[in-house]
Structure formats: structure tokens, C-alpha cells
Amino acid sequence: MRDTSPQPIHLAEYQPPAYLVDQVDLTFRLAPRATRVLSRIHFRPNPGIHAGHDLRLDGEGLRLISATLDGQPIEAQPDATGVTIPATALPDGAFLWEAEVEIAPEGNTALEGLYMSRGMYCTQCEAEGFRKITFYPDRPDVMAPFRVRIEADLPVLLSNGNLSAKGPGWAEWHDPHPKPSYLFALVAGDLVATSDQFRTMEGRDVALNIWVRPGDEGKTGYAMDALKRSMIWDEQVYGRAYDLEIFNIVAVDDFNMGAMENKGLNIFNSAYVLASPETATDGNYAAIERIIAHEYFHNWTGNRITCRDWFQLSLKEGLTVFRDQQFMGDMRSHAVKRIEDVLTLRARQFREDAGPLAHPVRPESYVEINNFYTATVYEKGAELIRMLQLLVGEDCYKAALDLYFTRHDGQACTIEDWIAVFEESAGRDLSQFKRWYEQAGTPRIDVTEDWRDGSYTLTLRQHTPPTPGQPLKEPLLIPVAMGLIGPDGQELLATQVLELDRAEQSFTFEGLAARPVASLLRGFSAPVILNHALTSEERALLLAHDTDPVNRFEAGRALARDILLAMIREGAKPGPVYLDALRQMLRDEALDPAFRALALGLPSQDDLASALHDAGDTPDPDAIYLARQEALQIIAEALAPDLATVFAGMQTPGPYSADARDAGRRALRVQAVSLLARVDQGAKAREMFARANNMTEQLGAWGALLAINAGEAETAQFYRQWSGDRLVMDKWFAAQVSHAEPDQAAGLAQDLTGHPDFDWKNPNRFRSVIGALGMNPAGFHAKGGASYRLVADWLIRLDGANPQAAARVSTLFETWRRYDSTRQKLIRSELERIMAHQGLSRDMGEMVGRMLE
């Protein structure tokens, strides 16, 4: 039988485009079931390669009405993925391709290409959606200026670039900056704008608009403010100004991810634009700020300088995440932001790196590129840039970036181009560092120490476990920032950066008066797992005295983790060292409340499962859940008076402000009320719910009740209050499922999928039930496998409508090989059931195939 499974694409097989594009002109005649797209594309042979190639244009699901070459009609016969014009039919030199195609946006449930969301037309082209709009060389290394004319009987018609003309029922846009097709965008609908102005450092005025549905215009203020702050920041910190007369943002309800950086026309999931104190949590506000900044920053890192091919995705994504992290640190608290980023990295990227979906920051092959918009490409990619900055220093980082922008503006680049600007700026060979881009897996650093006669020797051993396709790993260049703390809490050695570049290396520190406690990996200087055995007392010392806030936090986390593991393995109980350290930390008013809120949290169930697995044990999700519950109970009882003080003291009187100061106070207050609920049966949480005038406190209080299996009245009240607000209803679904007791989670999720407000084709709503079930580990892994079945059923269903969204949610299963044989068998049979489904998408086929390998 012929193998019809989709073939992987390999980095090593990259070929430059045979034809380049000088100009694109598009006309859209919009209609829900029969949109006509007319294209005029000026091609010329790529002078860099030998002549005589066929012209291959990508195109999927297009009904070709007509095509001409230099005005002469041609017989073009599209196949399933595009159309080929043989070289013999092409004129010598430059030529004009014109085509008319028909597409049906209304039936496009995949939300890729041109689709409709509640009556509004919108597009999503990255990575390969443009080929669902018209025939084109749909690859990022073909960059061209675009002119777009939109015809539709709708009040707002938007595309990339500057508006050049408009009249009733039509508008024309011109984007002078050459761009790849993945940055094309079009929006049409009945929308209203919040508008503002920005003057660039070069003195040009830019019109800013945030477009939303009528009725939502009161919820755009924070996004606009974040946009203006992003624009100033990129000028001040990177010297990069905006480059068009207008910058449009549109909020869309049905969107596969967070947002998209289309040139001059960013399209956002409405969850990352709309906010009011009553409907959005502090976490939502922070996410809006971050994503607005991220997409804006792409204008330089992604749009002006783009990727040669999709293997280079981290070139734009890792860098843009790093930039948004820097921005958020500047806007809020560097320490708190770094801790949150480390938590996210561990929760998402370490998890990915430890399982069947592990891949390098620059993958070497893919079947469906949409499956590679991952935590590894994004978050680990950002970590690599942070390490580069640490290795070369801040001034050199700045020089390297300036060189990158001047040298590569307008180009489609590679990771090699990126490394080269650092090598040249630092005058240093970075070939060993480049392995970070090529080698998957999370490195482990095992620490041993020796102390004699005032001399302290630290020995670091690195090893990276095998990952799919990469059984053997080479040593990496790992920057280990460290300091030494004396037994009295005084710092004996201020932060310095050790460069670990061999499998094993020792570092000696002489002339110390007392045996120090090493504070290693300060600021989380490398994305590694550090195995540094310290006693509880030593960890408590670092929690109380380390000068590095990230390591203070890490010491507290490690303390909690050691205790939870001992509870799971030996039935131990949290002892006084831990409880006293926690109490002291909670009482320390010099500490940022946001930090205290984070430090009061326990390692997640998934963190504990991964720690157990790493140590060679088989994690038992029920035992993990019970140990956490018991630890929370003991902490709540031991700390109750202090928690009550914090609860009373952390109020935020006055009008709501989303700034980091107030958000930190609310975060600590919510942590306190969640613990107190375990000793006062939810009394304070009920009070907080009843009085809350903002979503952070309302949801926090309700969540505290759900977590003790209470809050039925509040669940009903929350629904009555918010059933008209889609984004708040996502929270209503998600909170119930994620807090459900292990044996009730599957049943509850199943019931909620039958709720009249469950709209499974809306990605946010789908994730609020099915995604949330996967985020409730004890519920997801409950005995019998009811959750596995439910998730698999829904993945199969969603895959038929929206493969990209379904494939993304399938990662809920990626840790399956950690668990016991009974659970493995149950999950395997669900994965096989998905795999055997007729008509499975390429997206899902690749993901499930890799998980089963």
C-alpha cells in the first residue's frame, strides 16, 4: 500500500525561492459563502539561483476561476496543495500572474485563512494560512509590498499598512514595507474604535485604533495604555520606532491563540484586549499588557526582520518573548516577573522537554509547522537570549542588537545570522553556545561540595537526558550565576557568573571564615534542573537571607518540594523549620506582597509528578493530591493568625488600579483567604465574594470556596451575574472544572459540555472545559480513565472542525509515560483510538504519532 501519510519537511533541505515577488495587488469582494479574491502578482526570477524553474504556488481549498500570465489566459490545473506552471510556459524575465479564486469564509471553522467570527470577517495567516486565500509562494523568505482593495457592505474595512483611499462599501490599503504573506491581514465588520495618537521619536504622528464590537468600547483603555507604553519602551530601550501612519488592533472572539502581529493590523483574541475591573483579573490585565507589547515588538523582531524558513521560528519568537519579559520587568517588578517566568518555563517547557514532544529550539523537521509554536520555541528560546546577554554583558548585548537591526532590516534571517552578530560584537566564538538551539532536553546540573581549611570547592556536573531522535548529548556552555552566604546570613561572595562548558568542572573559593551555603543559578541564569542537596536549615537560611530574590523564592520552593516528596513517600509531616520560615517570610513587611503571595504557594501537582519521575519513582496523582491537601491544611492551621492579619492588612481601598502594587496586595490577600478557608470553612472567602468589586477578588474568593468543595451558592450567583459576558463565562466554566475533586472532575466536565453556553467551536470556551480538565491532574488521572475518554472524544470532534486548536490541546497527554501501567494502558488506548480515526488531520496525526512513538 502506498504511504499517504504526510511527509516531514527538513531544515537540511531548504532551497531558496526560484521566483521573488516585487508587488502584490489583491482585491477582495467579500461574501460569506463566495468571497472572490483577485490577485495581481509581479514575479521575477531569483537572481541568486540558476534559471529555468517551474513556478510553484501554494493554494489550498481554492476554487480557481481564471488565471493569466502577462495578460494571456492559461490553463492552470491546481492539485491538492497548489498549482505548478511549467518553466516552458513562463516568459523570460519578470512576469505578471493574475488569478481570481473563490473561497467560503463562513464555513471556515479551522480559523485559519479568511474566516468569520460572529458576523465579522478576519484572517489568520501565520504560519501557512495565506494559501487558503489565494495562490502564492506562501513562505516567509518571499517578501513583497502589498496593495489591498476590500469591497463589502460593512462599515469597517481594514488591511495592512496605510489607508490610501475609501468610499462607501470599499477601502484601499497600501503597505509599503515588503512582508511575507504570513503577515497579511484583513478585517471587515461592524466595529467601533477607541482611538488615540502617538508621536514617534522621529516626530511622526501615528493614529492608534483598537477595534471592538459595539458595547465593548469601555473595555479597551488598558490595552491602549499598554500599547503606548510599549511604543515608548521600544524607542527608549531598543531605539526602534513605529514605521506606518496607523496602527490598528482588532479584538476577535474566535481565535486560535493569543494574538497575531500582522503588519499594522494586529488581530487579538478578545480575551487579551478587553478588560474592566469587574470582569478581568489582575492576571488578565498583566496578560493584556504582555501580549499587546509582544505583538507590537514583533514589528521589528519578526516583521522588519523575519525568518528565512519556519525552522528559524525562535529567531522572532524567542527574541520577542525576551523583549516582552524585559518590558514587563521594567513596568512591574523584575524579581516577581522573573519568578513568574521561571514557574511558567518549568510548568510548560520542562514538561515538554521531558516527554515525547521534546524538540530543539530550532527543530530539524516537522510535519505541520503549527505544532511547533511551543514553549520550547518561545520560552526556552527567550532563555537562550537571556543567557547570551549574561555571557556577553549588557553593553555588548545592545551593540549586537544594533548590529542585527542595521545589518538585517528587510531580510529573512537564520539563527546563524543571529549568533554572528553576537560573535562579532563580543569577539568570541559561540559555536558551543549554539548547541542550545540544536539540542533538545533540559540539562541537569549535579552539585557536589567540598569544604576544608577555609577553602570551598564546588563541583558541577552537567548531563542532558536523551530525547526523541537525540540519544547522545554534548556538553553545553552554561552560565551559572552564584554567590555565597555565610551561616549568619551575611553574603560572603557577591554574584559572579561561572561558565560551565565541560561535562564536569570544579571551582574553588579560598579564605572563607566559615562554611558557606552556595546560592546557585541566581536569577535562574540557565534553563536547567539543578540538583543541589541542601538541608532544610540551609534552604531556610537562603529563603531568609539570599540577596537574590529568585533564589530566595527557589529556596522556599525547594523546601516545600522536599517536604511534599517526603509526605508522599514516607508519610512525613511539614516540620517547624518549614513552617517557621514561611511565617517569618509572611510577616516580613519589607518584602513585596506579590513576592510573598508567590512564596506562599506550593509546587504544583504536575511539578511534584515530574520531580518524582525524575527521581525514578512512579508518580501517583492521588497521593500527590492528598499530600498537597494535607500540607495546605497544616500550613493554614499553623499560620492562621498571620494569614488573618494579612487578609485584613492587604485591602486596596480607593478605586481599582491594575498596577503591580495593588495587584500584589490582592494576590497576597487571595492566597491568605484560600488558606484561611481551610480553617474557617470559607467564612472569610464568602465575605470577600460578597463584597468584591473586582474580578480578582470575586474569582479568588469563589475559587477558595471551590477548593474546599463548597461555594455552590456562589457558583449560581456568579452565573446569574455574568451569563451575558463571554469572557467571564469562560472563567465560570474553567474554575469549576479546575477545582473539582478528583473523582468528580470528569463527570462535571461532561455535564458542562452539555450546558447551553458550551460552544465547543470557540477555542476559549473549549479550553475552559476540556483544557481545564487536563489542568486538574488528580481529576484528569482519576482511576478508570473517564477523563481520558472524555478528552479523547472531544479532541476527535474538534479535530474535524479546527485541527490546530485540537492538536494544541492534545498535549494534555504528553506526560503519559510517567504514570503507572494501568493508566498508561488507558491513555495509550485513547491515543490509539484518536490515531485510528478516519480523516484525522495532519496536525493531530503528527502530535499523537509522536506521543505514541
List residues with catalytic annotation.
Answer: 295
What residues from 517 to 546 belong to the interface with ligand B3K (CB under 6 A)?
none
Closest CB 211 distance from ligand B3K, rounded Å = 18
Instruction: Quote the least distance from Cβ 435 to ligand B3K, whole Å.
Output: 25
Size of residue set near ligand B3K by CB under 6 A: 12
If the CB atoms of residues 317 and 538 are measured against Zn ion, the closer one turns out to be: 317
373 binds, among Zn ion, ligand B3K, none (CB under 5 to 8 A by kind): ligand B3K
Indicate whether 254 belongs to the interface with ligand B3K (CB under 6 A).
no
State which H helix or E strand residue 178 sits in. strand 170-179
160 binds, among Zn ion, ligand B3K, none (CB under 5 to 8 A by kind): none
For strands 144-151 and 19-29, give the pairing. Answer: parallel
Q: Which does 175 bind (CB under 5 to 8 A by kind): ligand B3K, Zn ion, none?
A: none
Kindly indicate which of the ranges 171-179, 253-261, 700-708, 844-852 contains the residues binding ligand B3K, using the contact rule CB under 6 A.
Answer: 253-261
What is the C-alpha to C-alpha distance for residues 215 and 838, in angstroms, rounded to an integer?
A: 43
Residue closer to ligand B3K (CB basis): 127 or 171: 127
Question: How many other C-beta atoms lie within 10 A of the C-beta of residue 757?
Answer: 13
| Least gap, CB of 128 to ligand B3K (angstroms) | 9
Site for ligand B3K in 752-781 (CB under 6 A): none
127 binds, among Zn ion, ligand B3K, none (CB under 5 to 8 A by kind): ligand B3K
Would you say 281 or 320 has its CB closer to Zn ion?
320
Asked if 602 and 630 count as a contact pair (C-beta separation under 8 A), the reply is no
| 253 versus 843: smaller Cβ distance to ligand B3K | 843
Work out which of 257, 331, 688, 706 binds ligand B3K, going by CB under 6 A: 257
Nearest CA to 259 among 247, 248, 246, 273? Answer: 273
With CB under 5 A as the contact rule, which of the stretches 5-13, 136-144, 309-317, 815-823 interacts with Zn ion?
Answer: 309-317
Stretch of 256-264, 525-533, 617-625, 677-685 lying at the interface with ligand B3K (CB under 6 A): 256-264
Regarding 126 and contact with ligand B3K (CB under 6 A), the answer is yes
Kindly state the smallest distance separating residue 266's Cβ from ligand B3K, in Å. Answer: 9
Task: Write out the binding residues for ligand B3K, residues 404-423 only, by CB under 6 A.
Answer: none
Q: 418 is in the binding site of which of ligand B3K, Zn ion, none (Cβ under 5 to 8 A by kind)?
A: none
Pattern of binders to Zn ion over 317-356, x per CB under 5 A? x--x------------------------------------
Least distance between Zn ion and beta carbon 339 (Å): 22
Q: Cα(720)–Cα(733) distance, rounded to whole angstroms?
A: 13
- Alpha carbon 825 to its chain centroid, in Å, reads 31
- Angle at the Cα of 528 from the Cα atoms of 523 and 531, rounded to 5 degrees: 95
Residue from 260, 460, 737, 834 touching ligand B3K (CB under 6 A): that is 260
Torsion of the alpha carbons at 252, 255, 259 and 261, rounded to the nearest 10 = -90
148: Cβ contacts below 8 Å, ≥ 6 apart: 25, 26, 27, 28, 159, 160, 161, 172, 173, 174, 175, 186
Using alpha carbons, select from 769, 767, 776 the residue that is nearest to residue 740. Answer: 776
Residue 289 binding target from Zn ion, ligand B3K, none, CB below 5 to 8 Å by type: none
Binds 370, which of Zn ion, ligand B3K, none (CB < 5 to 8 A, cut-off by type)? ligand B3K
List the interface residues with Zn ion, window 159-178 (CB under 5 A). Answer: none
Residue 292 or 358 having the CB closest to Zn ion: 292
- 846 counts as binding ligand B3K under rule CB under 6 A: no
Q: Kindly state whether residue 127 participates in binding ligand B3K, applying the rule CB under 6 A.
A: yes
Report the partner that residue 620 touches, choosing among ligand B3K, Zn ion, none (CB closer than 5 to 8 A by kind). Answer: none
Stretch that binds Zn ion, among 312-320, 364-372, 464-472, 742-750 (CB under 5 A): 312-320
Q: Tell me the pairing of strands 455-463 and 504-509.
A: antiparallel
Which positions from 321 to 360 touch ligand B3K by CB under 6 A, shown as an x/- string? ----------------------------------------
Under rule CB under 6 A, residue 249 binds ligand B3K:
no
Which residue, 127 or 598, is less far from ligand B3K as judged by CB? 127
374: three-class secondary structure by DSSP: coil
Task: Give, for 808, the enclosing helix (H) or strand (E).
Answer: helix 803-809
Residue pair 521/548 in contact (Cβ under 8 Å)? The answer is no
Q: Judged by CB, which is closer to Zn ion: 317, or 607?
A: 317
Q: Give min distance, CB of 764 to Zn ion, in A.
A: 19
Q: CB under 5 to 8 A by kind: which of ligand B3K, Zn ion, none does 260 bind?
A: ligand B3K
Within residues 266-295, the interface with ligand B3K by CB under 6 A covers 294-295
Q: Are 421 and 404 in contact (CB under 8 A)?
A: yes
Q: How far is the CB of 117 from ligand B3K (least distance, A)?
A: 16
| DSSP state, residue 459 | E
The H-or-E segment that residue 777 falls in is helix 777-780
Q: Which of 12, 58, 63 is nearest to 34 (CA)?
A: 63
Give the span between the Cα atoms of 620 and 608, in whole angstroms: 10
Which residues does 137 contact at the CB level (< 8 Å), separation at least 6?
17, 19, 21, 56, 57, 58, 181
Min separation Cβ 304 and ligand B3K, Å: 15
Site string for ligand B3K, 358-397 (x = CB under 6 A): ------------x--x------------------------
Which three cell numbers mark 587? 510577616
Any residues with CB less than 8 A from the CB of 427 and at least 6 apart, and which?
none
d(CA 256, CA 808) in angstroms, rounded, equals: 9
| Amino acid at the residue 87 | A
The smaller minimum CB distance to Zn ion, of residues 151 and 295, is found at: 295
Binding site partner of 257, from ligand B3K, Zn ion, none, Cβ cut-off 5-8 A by kind? ligand B3K
Residue from 58, 151, 253, 261 in contact with ligand B3K (CB under 6 A)? 261
Counting residues that bind Zn ion (by CB under 5 A) gives: 2
Stretch that binds Zn ion, among 311-319, 494-502, 751-759, 802-810 (CB under 5 A): 311-319
| Measured CA distances, 427 to 407, 423, 500, 788 (Å) | 17, 5, 19, 53
Q: Using an 8 Å Cβ cutoff, are 186 and 161 in contact?
A: no
CB count in 10 Å sphere of residue 805: 29
Relative to beta strand 35-45, strand 19-29 is antiparallel
- Prior bond of 127 cis (ω within 30°): yes
Instruction: Give the three-state DSSP class for 643.
Output: helix
CA distance 831 to 817: 12
All 3 cell numbers of residue 232?
515608548
Q: Which does 312 bind (CB under 5 to 8 A by kind): Zn ion, ligand B3K, none?
A: none
Using alpha carbons, select from 605, 699, 635 the residue that is nearest to residue 351: 605
User: Which residues 6+ apart lie within 8 Å of 595 measured at CB?
Assistant: 333, 335, 336, 339, 549, 552, 553, 664
In angstroms, how far is the first alpha carbon of the chain from the final one?
A: 21
Q: Tell me the closest approach of the beta carbon of residue 125 to ligand B3K, in angstroms.
A: 9
Smallest distance, Zn ion to C-beta of residue 767, A? 19
The C-alpha atoms of residue 323 and residue 382 are separated, in whole angstroms, by: 8
* Grid coordinates given for 294: 509582544
Tell me whether residue 551 or residue 802 sits nearer to ligand B3K (CB atom).
Answer: 802
Shortest Å, Cβ 142 to ligand B3K = 18
Binding site for Zn ion (CB under 5 A): 317, 320
Binding site for ligand B3K (CB under 6 A): 126-127, 257, 259-261, 294-295, 298, 317, 370, 373
